[in-house]
Structure 1
Amino acid sequence: MAEPPARVLLVEDTASLAAVYVEYLRAAGYQPEQARTAEEAMRLARAAPPDAALLDLRLPDGDGMSVLRALRRESPDVAVVVMTAHGSVATAVEAMRAGAADFLVKPFAAERLSVTLGNALERAALRREVRDLTSGKPRLAFQGFIGAAPAMQAVYRVLETAAQSKATVFITGESGTGKELAAEAVHRLSPRHAGPFIAINCAAIPKDLIESEIFGHVRGAFTGAVADRIGAAQAADGGTLFLDELCEMDLSLQGKLLRFIQSGTFQPVGSTTPRRTDVRFVCATNRDPLEEVKAGRFREDLYYRLHVVPVRLPPLRERGEDVIAIAEALLARSAAEEGKRFLGFSEPAKAALLTHHWPGNVRELENAVRTAVVLHDADQVEAAMLPLRAAEPEQPEPAAPAPPVLVAPPRERPVADPSRLIRPLAEIEREAIERAVLLCDGNIPKAAAFLGISPSTLYRKRASWGAAAE
């Protein structure tokens, strides 16, 4: 899933220059917000801290350095790039010492702005990741992923560690969990990040064309081959080759792929000359690869050759409140693209998101949010706006009828004091809450949604009982 565009606060008092820089930022994929004075810049930054700031050092109501120092003090995660029209080395050095990530000398080209701002944002993100790791805090996002669930923290650590090696990464997970996003993260974090990232979907290419797609072909190899064509193996030289839905590959081609992995050489279709390439393999499947091996649909030797660093992406239903964080990010992006005024989700809508089964995972969530934004316009997304189909309850298989057993009905015993049958309401409430939490496997937000109360109320009640925090 793509991340929402970075928000950039542009602080520039010259209207003509501000208009040019706004267009530069939009063309580079950023979401610009403009301020003309130091006071306006700090007001906007305090209301909603941006991801980065593009700051002119000469402002009509003060020195830009004061804005820089205030931003570093109040919002240290904001990447600040200062602009100066004089090219003064002393001014640039002072700004860098005050916490600026970089500086630009006016006039500058759009490409220079894009590169400088991109580098500043990347360094800021790395600093946040290092700080979160050293402080033990969960990461809220990672290389395009959004979510702080414990299962995702483990995924982030494995991807980060595996990226530095040459070992093959084998990603498994249901459709829509972000397998290609994980493969891209491995590539971006690896020493091969400057090389190409080539993805092949083995399920989307016809059986008789996939060999050519991977290994290429020479002219005249088959009908329609009017010229030589390189395949993904050659195109990924020096980079990463991502084989998605690998278990869909034909068995005969699996043998050729195994030889390619073992030797690093391959032959284009119709050629007798071997060629060598240097690629790092990342594979993915939405099936259980071991079950495919047992069923004879996937070669066992290929499985053990590729299944070096396994990464399992958890389905959305196992990620708790991550679904809300992802939905809010998707809503912000879709609302901006469609020109709608949505700002968030109502509490009933959040409850609906938390209790839905999400068989299509993040892809289904993205479609649901997009549909709500396209068809409606309001301040909040309501539950009725979300196109969520209730999951059919699983029907247990009927058990064989047991032979009838005749049991004499118990004799009712008279109760001396009927008031003893009445239990305190607080005791009944606690029993109902603890039973709901147990049935939801400890998922407090999900239990709260079923009970019709807010998660904060549920946390507060359990804390008052001395229950362990979930």
Structure 2
Amino acid sequence: MASPILLVEDTLSLAMLYETVLKKAGHEVVTASSLQEARASWRKSKASTVLLDLMLPDGDGMELMDEVHRHDANARVIVITANGSINRAVEAMRLGAFDFLVKPFDENRLLRAVENALSAERTQRADTPEKPQSGEGFHGFLGNSPEMQAIYRMIDRIGRSTASVFITGESGTGKELAAHAIHDCSPRAEGPFIALNCGAIPRDLLESEVFGHLKGSFTGAISDKKGAAAAAHGGTLFLDEICEMDLSLQTKLLRFLQTSTVTPVGAVTPRVVDVRIVCATNRDPMVEMRAGRFREDLYYRLHVVPIHLPPLRERRDDILKIAELTLHKFAQEEGKMFRRLNPETAQMFRRLDWPGNVRQLLNVLRNVVVLNDGVEMMPEMLPHDILVEARRMMSPSAPEHPVARGDATPKISAFVGHTLAEMERAFIEATIEASDGSLPQAARILGVSPSTLYRKRESWT
């Protein structure tokens, strides 16, 4: 016999409402209104699914979650929090919570979270809660650096949730790969995964692509079209480059998230759809929001569980691993003899910054394999621009962190009479100029991340 659901909620009216909804759906429910009572109830019932309010009158709900997981690593804890405490819910997810609900939520959201937890329990109880990663491939990812191991664990955890996910990272870091991995790790894995690049579709067609249209609703609408949101019903909708979306369409997207309904262009009757939203951008969404290009309410609706994918230069231990595995793969596909990187080539790869990240690395490897052959990948096989940059980086006269050159470096006397902010801007701009306009190189000189420089330049416009 299945164990009951433990409901921990100190507000009597809400506890009665949740209990009624769950029992109506056929679930057995045990209710507790305090941390002490919840501990006693769980020890007696051994509930494998727990609905847990984090704010309890006699303690922190996190303490109960910790106790539950110590005794049953497969237990599914769904945390409940108020709108102003989303950060605590996200932290609970990182510590092993299965999902979270933000008050107020409707009964469909409650039942969906519980059904997902019960389904995951049935299919995963025999498995370990976190699959060890070898680095040879996690849902298409390569690399076993500590940074990527943390990403794999996070994807595995939040994949089982129903919460919206916001992926950030530079171009080429694998944002769509992460979105697909989240889908594959979720109870929706058998459903559709629909990806839409908001930056690649003309603005006047984007609404139709997202929500669909009826025949004759506008010039060129020669038949009914199901939009991406409806096509993703029962699965995951991935909105790439979300910050490129027009403000007017952002309003309609927010309404869709609030109501779970879509209204195709030309239609008057909305349609209910069940999708999980995963979005991504290579911009800083906070900067876009403050600049008025991204709606604040939409930002907070989507930015529930954030994932930031690190650039390749911040996980250099993965560069050679990715290069070696991919070189073998491409050589087999192209019928070439390549087996390994020449030691000098390997050293060059580790020193290069790879501003295009993994995508750039893969493109370079494909270029070499298509145009050359041999057992070792030699430096002279590299594309000209990559070879020139690599040799510059490898030059004995080139320091590990090169400094700004020539007259571009401002003299201290030039700063007299200026504010600290003005001095900082002048020095950063001079460093970028001395780096031939390369922000990644300027960031390396200044000892900051490129995203810091992007944000500062954005604030100066």
Superposition TM-score, scaled by structure 1 size: 0.56
Alignment deviations for residues 158-213 of structure 1 (CA, whole Å, 9 cap, x no partner): 11100011001110000000000000000011000000000000000000000000
Q: Is the 8 A contact 1:202 1:243 kept in 2?
A: yes
Task: Flag the 1:383–1:241 CA change in 2: closer, same or farther, 3 A.
Answer: same
Deviation for aligned residue 1:329: 1.7
Task: Flag the 1:129–1:152 CA change in 2: closer, same or farther, 3 A.
Answer: farther
Alignment deviations for residues 377-402 of structure 1 (CA, whole Å, 9 cap, x no partner): 10010122122151896737532353
Aligned to 1:395: 404
Task: Flag the 1:264–1:129 CA change in 2: closer, same or farther, 3 A.
Answer: closer
Report the Cα distance in structure 2 between the residues aligned to 1:309 and 1:130, rounded to whole angstroms. Answer: 19
1:370 to 363, 366, 369: 366
Report the Cα distance in structure 2 between the residues aligned to 1:341 and 1:324, rounded to whole angstroms. Answer: 18
1:162 to 152, 158, 162: 158
Deviation for aligned residue 1:128: 10
Greater CA drift, 332-341 or 205-214: 332-341
2:335 to 310, 335, 339: 339
**What is the identity, as a one-letter code, of the residue corresponding to 2:303?**
H
**What is the identity, as a one-letter code, of the residue corresponding to 1:267?**
T
Q: Is the 8 A contact 1:317 1:357 kept in 2?
A: yes
Aligned to 2:269: 273
Report the Cα distance in structure 1 between the residues aligned to 2:372 and 2:170, rounded to whole angstroms. Answer: 30
Q: Tell me, what secondary structure is at the counterpart of 1:141?
A: coil
Q: Is the 8 A contact 1:132 1:139 kept in 2?
A: no
RMSD (CA atoms): 2.6
Report the Cα distance in structure 1 between the residues aligned to 2:215 and 2:177, rounded to whole angstroms. Answer: 35
Give matches, 1:191-230, under 5 Å. Answer: 191-230=187-226
Query: Is 1:350–2:346 an aligned residue pair?
Result: yes
Report the Cα distance in structure 2 between the residues aligned to 1:150 and 1:130, rounded to whole angstroms. Answer: 15
Report the Cα distance in structure 1 between the residues aligned to 2:342 and 2:127, rounded to whole angstroms. Answer: 34
Report the Cα distance in structure 1 between the residues aligned to 2:352 and 2:127, rounded to whole angstroms. Answer: 35
Deviation for aligned residue 1:129: 9.7
Report the Cα distance in structure 1 between the residues aligned to 2:316 and 2:308, rounded to whole angstroms. Answer: 17
**What is the identity, as a one-letter code, of the residue corresponding to 2:167?**
I
Give matches, 1:23-422, under 5 Å. Answer: 132=132, 139-387=135-383, 388=386, 389-390=388-389, 395=404, 398-400=409-411, 402=413
Report the Cα distance in structure 2 between the residues aligned to 1:130 and 1:274, rounded to whole angstroms. Answer: 40
Task: Flag the 1:386–1:357 CA change in 2: closer, same or farther, 3 A.
Answer: same
Q: Tell me, what secondary structure is at the counterpart of 1:170?
A: strand
Report the Cα distance in structure 1 between the residues aligned to 2:446 and 2:255, rounded to whole angstroms. Answer: 48
Alignment deviations for residues 110-148 of structure 1 (CA, whole Å, 9 cap, x no partner): xxxxxxxxxxxxx9xx98996737xxxx64531111111
Task: Flag the 1:267–1:131 CA change in 2: closer, same or farther, 3 A.
Answer: closer
Report the Cα distance in structure 2 between the residues aligned to 1:140 and 1:340, rounded to whole angstroms. Answer: 22
Report the Cα distance in structure 1 between the residues aligned to 2:144 and 2:340, rounded to whole angstroms. Answer: 19
Task: Flag the 1:326–1:128 CA change in 2: closer, same or farther, 3 A.
Answer: farther
Task: Flag the 1:131–1:279 CA change in 2: closer, same or farther, 3 A.
Answer: closer
Q: Is the 8 A contact 1:183 1:282 kept in 2?
A: yes
Q: Is the 8 A contact 1:129 1:139 kept in 2?
A: no
Report the Cα distance in structure 1 between the residues aligned to 2:215 and 2:404, rounded to whole angstroms. Answer: 58
Higher CA-based Rg = 1
Alignment deviations for residues 214-244 of structure 1 (CA, whole Å, 9 cap, x no partner): 0000011110101111000110000000000
Task: Flag the 1:130–1:159 CA change in 2: closer, same or farther, 3 A.
Answer: closer
Report the Cα distance in structure 2 between the residues aligned to 1:322 and 1:209, rounded to whole angstroms. Answer: 40
Task: Flag the 1:251–1:216 CA change in 2: closer, same or farther, 3 A.
Answer: same
Q: Tell me, what secondary structure is at the counterpart of 1:310?
A: strand
Alignment deviations for residues 390-429 of structure 1 (CA, whole Å, 9 cap, x no partner): 18967375323539xxxxxxxxxxxxxxxxxxxxxxxxxx
Report the Cα distance in structure 1 between the residues aligned to 2:327 and 2:286, rounded to whole angstroms. Answer: 38
Q: Is the 8 A contact 2:208 2:265 kept in 1?
A: yes
Report the Cα distance in structure 2 between the residues aligned to 1:402 and 1:218, rounded to whole angstroms. Answer: 67
Task: Flag the 1:131–1:200 CA change in 2: closer, same or farther, 3 A.
Answer: closer
Superposition TM-score, scaled by structure 2 size: 0.57
Q: Is the 8 A contact 1:242 1:281 kept in 2?
A: yes
**What is the identity, as a one-letter code, of the residue corresponding to 2:342?**
S
Report the Cα distance in structure 2 between the residues aligned to 1:296 and 1:353, rounded to whole angstroms. Answer: 40
Unaligned runs of 5+ in 2: 1-122, 393-401, 415-444, 448-461
Task: Flag the 1:131–1:226 CA change in 2: closer, same or farther, 3 A.
Answer: closer
**What is the identity, as a one-letter code, of the residue corresponding to 2:202?**
P
**What is the identity, as a one-letter code, of the residue corresponding to 1:230?**
K
Alignment deviations for residues 73-102 of structure 1 (CA, whole Å, 9 cap, x no partner): xxxxxxxxxxxxxxxxxxxxxxxxxxxxxx
Q: Is the 8 A contact 1:164 1:189 kept in 2?
A: yes
Sequence identity (%): 55
Aligned to 2:20: none
Task: Flag the 1:327–1:313 CA change in 2: closer, same or farther, 3 A.
Answer: same
Q: Is the 8 A contact 2:145 2:318 kept in 1?
A: yes
Task: Flag the 1:190–1:204 CA change in 2: closer, same or farther, 3 A.
Answer: same
Q: Is the 8 A contact 2:230 2:262 kept in 1?
A: no
**What is the identity, as a one-letter code, of the residue corresponding to 1:294?**
R
Unaligned runs of 5+ in 1: 1-122, 404-438, 442-470
**What is the identity, as a one-letter code, of the residue corresponding to 1:172?**
T
